[in-house]
Structure 1
Amino acid sequence: MKPIWIVDDDPSIRFVLEKALARENLPTRSFTHPREVLDALADITPGDPARQGPQVLVSDIRMPGGSGLQLLEKVRELQPGLPVIIMTAYSDLDSAVSAFQRGAFEYLPKPFDLPKAVELIRRAVEESQREEVTEERQAEAPEMLGQAPAMQDVFRAIGRLSQSQVTVLITGESGSGKELVARALHKHSPVADGPFVAINTAAIPKDLLESELFGHERGAFTGAQTQRRGRFEQAEGGTLFLDEIGDMPFDLQTRLLRVLSDGQFYRVGGHAAVKAHVRVIAATHQDLERRVKEGGFREDLFHRLNVIRLRLPALRERHEDVPVLTRHFLQQSARQLGVEPKRIADSAIARLEQFAFPGNVRQLENICHWLTVMAPAQVISLQDLPPEVLEAPLYQPAPRPGSDPSAAVAAVHAVAAPMPTPAPAVELVGGLPQPATVATQPLVGGLAASATPALGATPHWPAEAQMATGSGGIAATVGTAATWEQALETEAQKLLAGGQPEVWDALTRRFESRLIRTALTATHGRRMEAAQRLGIGRNTITRKIQELGLDAPDEA
């Protein structure tokens, strides 16, 4: 872990903080005035432990040789994501306000309570590590973000379709990111070198849509003074994305069907057939089966488009993706506006996760843009969220299979209307190989992930589930009617009855060992990410791995 940099001309302050942080296994490096800090920042060498940058900067506000606020401004220019804590006297509250306005993480009034100071620094460390994880994820996968099982199924489907040019129908609510999926399908396809052309069939007037799609000849209608290539010709050798296909006029559906079946079309007013070497991807938020029954959509066209159907989940079905998406959009908004990216408090993230997002990912993006402009401080707090979020009823996802319905219901206080069970992410027609669907979950710790209970529910172990006996696990066979708490109670009773010493430590070590191993397995050995998902600091998980003697892989 990188050190905590302490900047203060008072040696007693430096000494007290150094000793307190050392007891918490937090490395430190101290400076007496801002000039030394700037020189050290200029001397940072990646990969050299002796010249690594800070994890957190703690600086006094008034020092000979420079102001802490001036140092804050320069540090924000050099390392925008570095949390900076400003130490100040009680009489310097105006300076503290100025520090917040210039992007400080928090201010620490003097004289300070040492445990509270350490707690504040540890919070800044965890925030810094979260930002590093976010940057790592964005560097790895800036194209599309999503860790939820439903999104992982979408990603797998894109991978399986990467060697094919088959027609794909993307369904999902407005704002869920259907065009992003279409672009990803194009990017990872044999026609990736060709153009990607998108058209929203609902946004173009009926009288102009035919010309937009197929082009027109000179003199075909009033105002057609020259020949014009349509979207099909513009997408030659690439992909044509037809968004909101469910709103296409009925008569144009016939022409589209002819192109899909014959591979050729005629420009408006033209007599020569034009060949179309184009992959078609369509998308809609409507229920096309219902539209077919109502007579608003051609059944034969529906079957032409519905070769492979890929369902994109609504954001409320993938609430675990809200934190990473929020931080991504805050970074993106800051770049667009030319300002420093704002951070967001855990309480604000938790409230966003409980919001139903009727506008899906697009609504979250707009909220992040609003927060970048309107939130008064550099750290977005719960009360900074817009009224549409704060005043909305809390949304509770439907319980997953394997949870205790009564416990899940008891945990709900203000719940939106229950949603139907999500359909599979991918539905294949015509006997093609079937990718994984939402119902297929990876195994975590030997149990199907789909059996993970909802928040507040009590999980049931399967009848055949057995924890390993011996020093590494709990010796108990758990029946279908028994909960894991009952299994723990049974094991504790057995150890107590047998005169086992230090039962508390023995069971705690087993519990922590199993929990950390499971988290590391789920994150492919990335300790920082595992710590974040467990809700502990990276220093804590490293210490626990050493104490428990876990043979855990290093971070990838």
Structure 2
Amino acid sequence: MKPIWIVDDDPSIRFVLEKALARENLPTRSFTNPREVLDALADVDPGDATRQPPQVLVSDIRMPGGSGLQLLEQVRAQQPGLPVIIMTAYSDLDSAVSAFQRGAFEYLAKPFDLPKAVELIRRAVEESQREEIIEDQAPLNAEMLGQAPAMQDVFRAIGRLSQSQVTVLITGESGSGKELVARALHKHSPVAGGPFVAINTAAIPKDLLESELFGHERGAFTGAQTQRRGRFEQADGGTLFLDEIGDMPFDLQTRLLRVLSDGHFYRVGGHAPVKAQVRVIAATHQDLEQRVREGGFREDLFHRLNVIRLRLPALRERREDVRMLARHFLQQSARQLGVEPKRIAESALQRLEAFSFPGNVRQLENICHWLTVMAPAQQISVKDLPPEVLQAPAIATAAPQAVGEPGSFAPEREDAPADSFVPRAGPGLPAAPQGADAEPPAAAAALPTWEPLLNVQARQLLENGQADVWDVLTRRFESHLIRTALQVTHGRRMEAAQRLGIGRNTITRKIQELGLEAGEEH
């Protein structure tokens, strides 16, 4: 682990923090003034154990030879993701609050309570490690983000369709990212060098939609003063994305069916057939089978479009992606606005994960943009979240659904990597079911609570004269928690610790103490 850097001209402060952190197995490196810190930052080398960059910086405000606030600005310019804790006397609280608003992780008022100071530093360490995980997992220029199994299915489907120009129907709720998938299908296809043309059939009035799709000849109707190429011609040699196809007027569906059948169409007011080589990708949030039964959508057109179907999961079905997406959107909003990216506290992330997101990924993106502008401090807390999140009741996690549906493209789900750490069952502790026998989270949420069973177990042990009831039940409780977290994260200890709200050192120590089977972690 990288060291915590301590900057203070008072040797007693440095000594106390060094000793307290050493007891927590947290390495430290101390400095007496800001100049020494800046020189050390210029000389860091991650490959050299003696020149490691800091995991966290703890700095006093008032020091000879420089101000902690100036140091904060210079350090944040060089390492934007580095948590900085500002130490200050009570008389400097105004300065500390100002520093906090300009990017400090937190401030620590002197004289401070040592255990609270250590706990604050540990929280900063865990936040720094979480940010490192996100940076490793989510490249800034990624087309799409998602670690949930349902999204991994979508990614695999895009890869398998990369050599094909087959018609694809994308289904999913509004805001779930259907156009992003369409663009990815185009980018990774044989016609990637051609144009990508998108049209929302629900956003254009019925009287204009035909002309938008197929073009018109001069004089075809009032106002048609010149010939106009429609979207099909514009997309020649590339991809045409028909969004919200379920809202297309019924009479236009007949014309679209003919174009899909033979590639020929007529401009409005035209008499000569026009041919265009176009790959069609359609999308809808509606149930097209139901629309067919109701007579609002042509069955033959449905079957023509439904060659390959990809279903995008709603965000509430891929809840494990919320924190990655939130951090990505906060970074994105900061770049767009030209400000420093804000961090988001674990408690705020958990609140977002419990939100139903009726607007899906688009709504999360808008929330992150709102937070970048409106959150008063550099770290976003629960109270900073918008009213629609704070006022909504938390909902149980829904069981993820596979991409494939009847008649759709359904790539197989890959198993967890062989080198993941999946713990074994301990004595008296059956392993959680996996695979086909695993109970979906939604079903688990409906089971009776576990507290009455705990009462029964505790009473039995106590009445039988068991001497160490506390230790026995605590070990079993912790074993279940850690085992389940590691199964959910496919053996990734740091991510499991993050989700449980404990430190990486803590989960490693507990695995050893509880006798859980160790394995290689990611």
TM-score range, shorter chain: 0.7 to 0.9
Runs of 5+ unmatched residues, structure 1: 401-421, 461-481
Task: Please report how far the alpha carbon of residue 507 of structure 1 lies from its aligned counterpart in structure 2 after TM superposition.
Answer: 9.3
Aligned equivalents of 1:102 and 1:281: distance in 2? Answer: 46
Task: Please report how far the alpha carbon of residue 253 of structure 1 lies from its aligned counterpart in structure 2 after TM superposition.
Answer: 1.2
Task: Please report how far the alpha carbon of residue 272 of structure 1 lies from its aligned counterpart in structure 2 after TM superposition.
Answer: 3.4
Aligned equivalents of 1:92 and 1:434: distance in 2? Answer: 61
Amino acid at match of 1:280: V
Whether the 8 Å CA contact 1:308–1:428 is kept in 2: the answer is no
Task: Count how many residue pairs are aligned between Structure 1 and Structure 2.
Answer: 502
Higher relative contact order (CA 8 A, sep 6+): 2
The alpha-carbon distance between structure 1 residues 49 and 452, as it changes in their structure 2 partners (threshold 3 A), is farther
Residue of structure 2 aligned with 1:435, choices 411, 417, 422: 411
Amino acid at match of 2:159: G
Task: Please report how far the alpha carbon of residue 248 of structure 1 lies from its aligned counterpart in structure 2 after TM superposition.
Answer: 1.3
Residue of structure 2 aligned with 1:529, choices 486, 495, 510: 495
Whether the 8 Å CA contact 2:396–2:445 is kept in 1: the answer is no
TM-score, reference length from structure 2: 0.85
| SS class of match (1:427) | coil
Task: Please report how far the alpha carbon of residue 338 of structure 1 lies from its aligned counterpart in structure 2 after TM superposition.
Answer: 0.8
Superposed counterparts of 1:60-209, under 5 Å: 60-139=60-139, 142-209=142-209
Runs of 5+ unmatched residues, structure 2: 423-430
Task: Please report how far the alpha carbon of residue 343 of structure 1 lies from its aligned counterpart in structure 2 after TM superposition.
Answer: 1.2
Residue of structure 1 aligned with 2:435, choices 448, 460, 464: 448
| SS class of match (2:291) | helix
Superposed counterparts of 1:535-554, under 5 Å: 535-543=501-509, 551-554=518-521
Aligned equivalents of 1:367 and 1:40: distance in 2? Answer: 38
The equivalent residue for 2:377 is: 377
Whether the 8 Å CA contact 2:308–2:409 is kept in 1: the answer is no
Aligned equivalents of 1:301 and 1:103: distance in 2? Answer: 56
Whether the 8 Å CA contact 2:241–2:282 is kept in 1: the answer is yes
Aligned equivalents of 1:459 and 1:504: distance in 2? Answer: 25
Whether the 8 Å CA contact 1:520–1:552 is kept in 2: the answer is no
Residue of structure 2 aligned with 1:425, choices 403, 406, 411: 403
Aligned equivalents of 1:524 and 1:390: distance in 2? Answer: 31
Amino acid at match of 1:379: Q
Which is worse superposed, 274-283 or 189-198?
189-198
Whether the 8 Å CA contact 1:442–1:448 is kept in 2: the answer is no
Task: Please report how far the alpha carbon of residue 518 of structure 1 lies from its aligned counterpart in structure 2 after TM superposition.
Answer: 7.0
Task: Please report how far the alpha carbon of residue 434 of structure 1 lies from its aligned counterpart in structure 2 after TM superposition.
Answer: 4.2
Which is worse superposed, 60-69 or 316-325?
316-325
| SS class of match (1:122) | helix
Aligned equivalents of 2:226 and 2:46: distance in 1? Answer: 59
Whether the 8 Å CA contact 1:311–1:423 is kept in 2: the answer is no
Task: Please report how far the alpha carbon of residue 526 of structure 1 lies from its aligned counterpart in structure 2 after TM superposition.
Answer: 4.4
Aligned equivalents of 1:371 and 1:143: distance in 2? Answer: 23
Identity of aligned residues (%): 81
Task: Please report how far the alpha carbon of residue 67 of structure 1 lies from its aligned counterpart in structure 2 after TM superposition.
Answer: 0.6
Aligned equivalents of 2:168 and 2:310: distance in 1? Answer: 7
Aligned equivalents of 1:389 and 1:515: distance in 2? Answer: 27
Task: Please report how far the alpha carbon of residue 360 of structure 1 lies from its aligned counterpart in structure 2 after TM superposition.
Answer: 1.5
TM-score, reference length from structure 1: 0.81
Q: CA RMSD in A?
A: 3.4
Amino acid at match of 1:72: L
Task: Please report how far the alpha carbon of residue 33 of structure 1 lies from its aligned counterpart in structure 2 after TM superposition.
Answer: 0.4
Task: Please report how far the alpha carbon of residue 543 of structure 1 lies from its aligned counterpart in structure 2 after TM superposition.
Answer: 4.5
Aligned equivalents of 1:509 and 1:387: distance in 2? Answer: 40
The alpha-carbon distance between structure 1 residues 550 and 503, as it changes in their structure 2 partners (threshold 3 A), is farther
Task: Please report how far the alpha carbon of residue 104 of structure 1 lies from its aligned counterpart in structure 2 after TM superposition.
Answer: 0.7
Aligned equivalents of 1:521 and 1:349: distance in 2? Answer: 21
Which is worse superposed, 53-62 or 166-175?
166-175
Aligned equivalents of 1:191 and 1:128: distance in 2? Answer: 42
Does structure 1 residue 355 correspond to structure 2 residue 350? no
Aligned equivalents of 1:113 and 1:207: distance in 2? Answer: 72
Whether the 8 Å CA contact 2:161–2:189 is kept in 1: the answer is yes
Whether the 8 Å CA contact 1:218–1:224 is kept in 2: the answer is yes
Superposed counterparts of 1:280-429, under 5 Å: 280-397=280-397, 424-427=402-405, 429=407
Aligned equivalents of 1:250 and 1:458: distance in 2? Answer: 44
Whether the 8 Å CA contact 2:201–2:209 is kept in 1: the answer is yes
**Alpha-carbon displacement from aligned partner over 1:452-490 (angstroms, at most 9, x marks no partner):** 545974989xxxxxxxxxxxxxxxxxxxxx99x89x979
The alpha-carbon distance between structure 1 residues 291 and 112, as it changes in their structure 2 partners (threshold 3 A), is same
Aligned equivalents of 1:117 and 1:232: distance in 2? Answer: 65
The equivalent residue for 2:425 is: none
Amino acid at match of 2:506: T
Task: Please report how far the alpha carbon of residue 393 of structure 1 lies from its aligned counterpart in structure 2 after TM superposition.
Answer: 2.8
Whether the 8 Å CA contact 1:154–1:426 is kept in 2: the answer is no
Aligned equivalents of 1:508 and 1:390: distance in 2? Answer: 33
**Alpha-carbon displacement from aligned partner over 1:365-405 (angstroms, at most 9, x marks no partner):** 1111111111111111111111122122332345x5xxxxx
Aligned equivalents of 1:433 and 1:89: distance in 2? Answer: 63
Amino acid at match of 1:552: G
The alpha-carbon distance between structure 1 residues 521 and 395, as it changes in their structure 2 partners (threshold 3 A), is closer
The equivalent residue for 1:416 is: none
**Alpha-carbon displacement from aligned partner over 1:134-166 (angstroms, at most 9, x marks no partner):** 111112982222233333333333333333322
Whether the 8 Å CA contact 1:169–1:308 is kept in 2: the answer is yes
